[in-house]
Amino acid sequence: MNFVDEARLRVVAGDGGDGCAAFLREAYRPKGGPSGGDGGDGGSVYAIADEGENTLLDLRSKRAIKAERGEDGRGKHQHGKKGSDVFLRVPVGTVFVDDETGQIVADMTEHAQVALLARGGVGGRGNARFATATHQAPRRADPGTPGVQREVRLELRLLADAGLVGLPNAGKSSLLARVSAARPKIADYPFTTLAPVLGVVRWADDKTFVLADIPGLIEGAHEGLGLGDRFLRHIQRTAVLVHLIDASGCSAERAVADFDTVQHELHAYGEDLGARPLLLVATKMDLPGAVEQLPELRRLLGARGHQVYAISAATGQGCRELLRAIGGAVDQRRIAAAALGQSERDQSSHA
């Protein structure tokens, strides 16, 4: 089962810069004092929680996050510059675990929360710091201390944005496997999927949503028949339901009747599932039977005001367009939810 989005990273803070050992040598001051400046502190690596981030997908391609080293001190009392810090943006809900100790390093629960992942090293002192009344020409200068390095595991509990529903064998798992990195079991018998599987789908350069594949629904599912009902709660919070219809082996009328069965189960389950935005998808378009039935299916469902997408998980045909439609619906819902949250915040601040 894959309810968790994961990534692994090495976070490397910058080392402190070295202190400098130097003496002033000026024409008019032949025996100048110690003038070595301190090294700058190394930059630290921080995590920052950001509502605008939804997955850890972008971080998976990264190996290490490094902050800058502090600059070395120089002569004439010049201190080295501090290395810049790095802020790693992660979705709210991300937990950082130290890979070696298993300890939780940071638990990002709130928007804009900042947590230290690796502290930068401290700059070394220059020799100017070591001068005393009795020891006026110290040669000692300290090296900077190393920055902290650690391997961290990032974990994010996923909530599905979109849910795949349909009869057993409709091709739900095949679609999820086609469009995400999830690898659900696929087979030509009903109830192949026994538990929900989630996958992260990238549908544009900087846009993703989480798609849930749940076991197939059959008549009586809301009363506990089959398996699907137990998992309907996993799609309760989705922005959109994607209903897959396989017409490759039956008539369009039969496919519509099957569609009604599943819709009836969703309505009967309650929780507003029946009223959820819905996308209809005819599957297995690489098979001649499906191609033959598509026009009639579109006519029958079109008469009820439904648009029907057509895809093949086998060839990928139509998938891109479908993902754009799902992504658009998910986006709309997020925008509406953000606006609702804002107006609630406004109201409570007026109260």
Ligand X SMILES: Nc1nc2c(ncn2[C@@H]2O[C@H](COP(=O)(O)OP(=O)(O)OP(=O)(O)O)[C@@H](O)[C@H]2O)c(=O)[nH]1
State the residues that interact with Mg ion by CB under 5 A.
Answer: 172-173, 192-193
**Please, what's the b/e burial string for 139-172 (b: 16 or more CB within 10 A of its CB; e: otherwise)?**
ebbbbbbbbbebebebebebebbbbbbbbbbbbb
Q: CB nearer to Mg ion: give 127 or 173.
A: 173
CA atoms within 13 A on the CB side of 23: 13
Q: Is 173 in the site for ligand X (CB under 6 A)?
A: yes
Binding of residue 318 to ligand X (CB under 6 A): no
Cα 182 to Cα 199: distance, rounded to the nearest angstrom: 5
Q: Is 44 in the site for ligand X (CB under 6 A)?
A: no
CB 165 within 8 A of CB 279: no
Residue 44 binding: pick among ligand X, Mg ion, none (C-beta 5-8 Å cut-off by kind): none
Contact criterion met (CB below 8 Å) for 284 and 169? no
Instruction: Find which of Mg ion, ligand X, none residue 313 binds, CB within 5 to 8 Å per kind.
Output: ligand X
Print the binding letters for residues 283-302 with ligand X: x by CB under 6 A, - otherwise: xx-xx---------------
Of 47 and 175, which CB lies nearer to ligand X in the complex structure? 175
Sheet of strand 4-12, all strands in order from the earlier edge strand to the far edge: 64-66, 4-12, 149-157, 94-98, 104-107
- Least CB distance from residue 4 to ligand X, whole Å? 21
CB closer to Mg ion, 128 vs 214? 214
> Does residue 205 touch ligand X according to CB under 6 A?
no
Closest CB to Mg ion among residues 9, 214 = 214
Whole-angstrom distance, CA of residue 115 vs CA of residue 107: 8
The residues in 113-142 that bind ligand X, with binding defined as CB under 6 A, are none
* Residue 93 interacts with, from Mg ion, ligand X, none (CB under 5-8 Å by kind): none
Helix (H) or strand (E) holding 335: helix 319-350
Based on CB atoms, which residue is closest to ligand X, 32 or 190? Answer: 190
Read off the DSSP letter of residue 133: S
Q: Between β-strands 4-12 and 114-118, what pairing exists: parallel, antiparallel or unpaired?
A: unpaired
Helix axes 172-179, 319-350, angle to 10 degrees: 80
Binding partner of residue 169 among Mg ion, ligand X, none, CB cut-off 5 to 8 Å per kind: ligand X
C-beta nearest to ligand X: residue: 216
Q: Which of residues 214-243 bind ligand X (CB under 6 A)?
A: 215-216
Residue 168 contact, options Mg ion, ligand X, none, Cβ 5-8 Å cut-off depending on partner type: ligand X
Cα separation, 264 vs 262, in Å, equals 5
* Chain residues that interact with ligand X, rule: CB under 6 A: 166, 168-174, 186-188, 190-193, 215-216, 283-284, 286-287, 312-314
